[in-house]
Each structure stands twice: as C-alpha cells, then as structure tokens.
A and B are shown apart, each in its own frame.
Chain A
Amino acid sequence: MSLALDDRDRACLDGAHGPAMRLAMRLVLKAAGILGARELIPVSFAHIDACFYSGEAHVDFAQYLLDHGAKLSIPAWTNNGVVSLTDPDIRPEASDPQMVKGARKLMQLYEKLGCRPVWTCAPYQLPGGPQFGDQIVAGESNAVSFYNAVIGARTNKYGDYLDVACALIGKAPYAGLHRDEGRRGRLLIRTEAVPDGWKAENIFYHLLGHHVGKLAGQAIPVISGLPPQETADSLKALAAAAASAGGVEMWHAVGVTPEAATQDDAFQGHAPEHIFEVTPESLAQARRDLTSAKDGPLDMVALGTPHFSLTEFERLAPLVAGRKASPGLAFYVSTSRHIRDEAAKRGWIAELEAFGATVIADTCTYYSPAVRRCRGRIMTNAAKWAYYAPGMLGVEVCFGSLAECVESAVRGEVWRDPQLWANGL
C-alpha cells in the first residue's frame, strides 16, 4: 500500500485497539484507496449522519462499535434523527413500531458512543463549531455546503459509516475538497442583472440556490454580484437549495464567502469554464419548479428546513404576535433543541404557540410523514423542503416568503404578497 500510516494507524489496523477501531481504519483506508489519496490528514470535528435510521443495519453497526471498544478521537455532533427524542408524540410508536423503535435506539447508541446530541442539520448555528481552515468531516448535504463555502472549513461529502469511521480514527483521506486545488471555482454565475431590491429578500437566496444547483450539478460555482454583507440565514438558504437541487458541495460568492475576496481568488487564477447570467426569468422558473400546487385552501405550513435559526425566530415572532393561525391548519417550525431553548428564553416560542404553531426539535417535518395533518396543500419558505416533499411525502407544495407563509396561515389559504412579486418575479 502506497499510503503513509503512522504508528497509531497501524495499531488500529492490526486490531491493537479492538475490532471496532480496526473496522473504522479499514473503512477509512478503503475510501482513501478508491479516492487515490496518498495520505490521511487529521480532522478536528465531525457531523455524524449515520444516526439517521435507514434500517436495522444502521443499528447493528452502532451496536457493534459500542460492543467492540470504539472511542471517538474528535468532537462529533449528531444530525437530525428520524424521530424526536424530546417530542416523542410527533411520531408515535404505533405509526411504524419497528422504524420508530429502531430510530430511537440508534440515536441513543450514538449518544452512548460519546457524540454530542445536538440532533440538527444546521450544526453551524451552534456555538463552538469548526472555524475557517479547519479540516472536518460532514455528510448532511446542506451542512457540507455551508461549512465549505460560508465557514471555509474543509470537508468532502461523507456517506454513512465512513463519517463515523473518520471520527473514531480522527483522520480522513486527503483528497477532494480537503485540498486547496480541489476548492477551485469552475463556473461563473453572474447576478449583476438582478435588481438590488430582490437581493434584500431572503426568498431570493432560496430561488438563486435552486437555480445555481441546477446549473452547477456537482461542479463548483462562483456567484458574483451579491451584496457583501449577506446574512447567515440567506447563505444557509443558498447553500441548502444548491445542494438539494444539484449536489453542490462547495461554492463561492465573490466578496461574500471567505475564499473569494476576489473573483480571481475563487477561480485560483484560472478562467471560468462556463459563464451564466441570472435573469429575472431564471428566478421565476425556480419559483415555478418549487411550487407543485395551485394557490388555494391551505392545510399546513412547514418552516425550518434546514433548521430554523435564532435570527429566523426573531423575524418570525413579530409576524405572528397577537394573531391566530386558521383553525385546523397545522403550522410547524423545525429547529434544534439548542435554538428552541434560546428562542424560548426570549419568549418567542410562547408567542408562536399562542399563534397555533408547533415548534419541533431533533427532527424535520420532511421525513416525518406521520406528522399530524401532513397532507394536502402545504406552504413552505424553504427551497429544500419544497424540492423534496412532493416525492417523499406525496404532498402538494406552494413555495413562498416567510411573511406569505404567516399571512396564508392566518387566512387559511395561500396568499401572495403583491409587492414581493411585482416586476415579474
């Protein structure tokens, strides 16, 4: 084997640290071999996706690790579960006993293994996470996209089991987005022709992300013409939508993201391979792509994909203050337990509950089909939710802004903000 191993790597591989660490080392080396990596690099943080239940093999794997001496080498935080540990009623056991029991057990096993039980797809909203330049491991597509592009931490998109293996060994194959040259932009996507007024709206970043994902596929896009002081919530929307619509794992926004102070930096001195102009029509098309239902009576609103941030709660609270959602309409906000606690301290959760909303933690409405009344016509402000829900949940989706979602919930039917959609968008 041409790969350089240190004494501990070799000891793990020889079984000196037990069968679990040997399996973990074998998985890391298998990935390195397929990637053609010449060396492993130390990683300092992992966001674990293997805690998402997809069958009993996942449970058996975690149990095997626990029973055979597995020890984490680095801090490892957990992605969403399929169920919520804090709100078991969201998906009652009777709805699917084997799945709910398995999912719950899996989450408990990763806690026992020493993972920090944050249960969120937006770990970058929590304090104490990775910083610029850190080599890390993540698997959740929106987190990979956000960490790489917005934070400037470096990760490939790690599949299940390999994410855990890297966290146990504390190393990853030195390949792809871990390397400088792997982060070079390839496509230029210009937004200069889009009116500045739209760029002040959060919904623009969902639509742009969807459009960018479709254009880029898995290539690294460089977006120019965005305002320099973009909010984390807008960049989250862009990161998530580009990842779900295309498979984008890394992107740059010139003057906004940390490896793109200039366009030349983003392309590492090379010329773009393709140049695309974003027009109002491309955004209107993105909006049509994300809406599968005609406007009409509304059954549910789903916010928080990826998980709602504290600043999003801050924007939502005044919109619902003193109002009531239409009787019979379900209004869900998905978030992490950490952010929910912080929002509760500020009184925002009580305001939302008075409005008629349910704030759920640890999981997401888009893979919890047993969520009450999750059928019919559903409105969301999240491009990622709108992209996946028709297929995964068999529901009809209307995509709109946060304010449109709230106003529609009050009226009990889809409402469009005439000011927002002026100018042909």
Chain B
Amino acid sequence: MIQARILHGGEAHGRVLALDAPLSFWGAFDPRTGRIIDIHHPQCGSCITGTILMMRETRGSGTAPGGMAEAIRLGTAPSAIILVKPDINLAIGAEVAEALYGKTCPVLAVTAADYAELARHAALAISGDGKITPLPRDSFPG
C-alpha cells in the first residue's frame, strides 16, 4: 500500500497503463475516442479510457483542463491518473467535471520511487483517502 498526495480525490480501480512519455490532454489525445492521437507519442493509438493512467508528468497546455473535463463528460477519461510531478490543469479539469456532471477522475501524485513500484503492477485500486493498493493481475482482463 502506498500513500499518495491527493490532487483531486476519489475512489477508482482499473488496469494500469504506464506511459513512456508525457501526454498533453489537449491536442495529443482525442476525448471523443479516448485514444492517444499524437503521432510523436510512443503509445499513439492506445486507449486510456478506464485505465489507471500513470505518467511522471504531463505536457503543459492551457487548454488541458478542457480536454480532461470533456473526456470525463464523454466517459472516455481514465479511471484515475497517477503522476510524480503535481499538475494543476488535470486537477482543475477533474474538479470542474465533478461539479458539472457528477462524475470524477481522481488525480494523485507519488514519489518517483513509489511510481516505479506501482508501475510494476497490472492493476491498482485507489481509495478516497489516497491509498493505492495493487490488485491481482486477472482483476481486469484485457
């Protein structure tokens, strides 16, 4: 069990998608499909919907809160996002979406060492108080 810093709180669980490069939530990802569309991103084509999305940091864009809120509105957002470098834009987007649509996407920050440990697991559960627990590999087939 790892205690994370809560940037936007909530409960979630899902299979882990650990990104090899930072992702911008505006322009690099399509909220209509949930897929990464930036051709320069190593995981271009991957669908982030419903995953515990892990990336050490985001790529900055002032429109990123809109991409986050739009994905939550459309149901294409990750189940949760785990970062190392805290990000205001994703947390703001999540807070706005929760107020507007009653749906949420927790955003958490952990240390680099904890990040490396968590990224080894196939699936994770997140509690409302920011505790992250590994789940068995077969919890989320596919």
Contact = CB atoms under 8 A, between A and B. Distances in A.
Interface centre among B63, B89, B101 (most CB of A within 10 A): B63
Contact of A55 (B60, B66, B87, B99): B66
A34 interface: yes
Contacts of B73: 55-57, 60
A31 B65 CA distance: 12
A178 to B, nearest CB: 14
Interface in B100-135: 100-101
A247 B93 contact: no
A23 B7 CA distance: 16
B14 interface: no
B92 A57 contact: no
Contacts of A50: 66
A57 B98 CA distance: 11
Interface stretch (A88-96, A159-167, A281-289): A159-167
Contact of A160 (B60, B66, B99): B66
Given A30-B8, A49-B62, A159-B62, A35 B88 contact: yes
A56 B73 CA distance: 9
A119 to B, nearest CB: 17
B31 A139 contact: no
B89 to A, nearest CB: 4
A34 B62 contact: no
B88 A159 contact: yes
Contact of A30 (B70, B91, B97): B91
B92 A31 contact: yes
Contacts of A159: 61-65, 88-89, 92
B2 interface: no
Interface string A47-60: 00110101111101
A159 B26 CA distance: 11
B70 to A, nearest CB: 4
Contact of B95 (A26, A35, A157): A26
Interface residues of A, number: 29
A385 to B, nearest CB: 16
A49 B31 CA distance: 20
B26 to A, nearest CB: 6
A216 to B, nearest CB: 14
Interface string B35-71: 0000000000000000000000000111111110110
A247 B91 contact: no
B63 A52 contact: yes
A30 B66 CA distance: 16
B66 A54 contact: yes
B70 A31 contact: no
Contacts of B86: 34
A55 B69 CA distance: 9
B67 A54 contact: yes
B19 interface: no
A9 B30 CA distance: 36
A275 to B, nearest CB: 26
B96 interface: yes
Interface residues of B: mostly helix, strand, loop or mixed?
helix
Given A31-B88, A159-B65, A247-B60, A23 B31 contact: no
B96 A27 contact: yes
Contacts of B63: 49, 52, 54, 159-160
B92 A162 contact: yes
Interface centre among A31, A61, A141, A159 (most CB of B within 10 A): A159
Nearest to B87: A34
A34 B95 CA distance: 13
A124 interface: no
B95 A55 contact: no
A147 to B, nearest CB: 14
Contacts of A34: 7, 86-88, 91
Interface in A4-48: 19, 23, 26-27, 30-31, 34-35
Contacts of B88: 30-31, 34-35, 159, 162
A139 B64 CA distance: 12
A17 to B, nearest CB: 15
A160 B86 CA distance: 17
B8 A61 contact: no
Contacts of B67: 54-55
Contacts of B26: 54
Given A55-B31, A55-B70, A56-B73, A162 B99 contact: no
A413 interface: no
Contacts of A158: 62
A22 B88 CA distance: 18
Contacts of A58: 66, 69-70
Contact of B92 (A49, A56, A141, A161): A161
Interface of A: 19, 23, 26-27, 30-31, 34-35, 49-50, 52, 54-58, 60-61, 64, 139-141, 157-162, 247
26 contacts: A23-B96, A26-B99, A31-B92, A34-B87, A34-B88, A52-B63, A54-B66, A54-B67, A54-B70, A55-B66, A56-B70, A56-B73, A57-B66, A61-B69, A140-B62, A159-B64, A159-B65, A159-B89, A159-B92, A160-B64, A160-B66, A160-B92, A161-B69, A161-B92, A161-B96, A247-B60
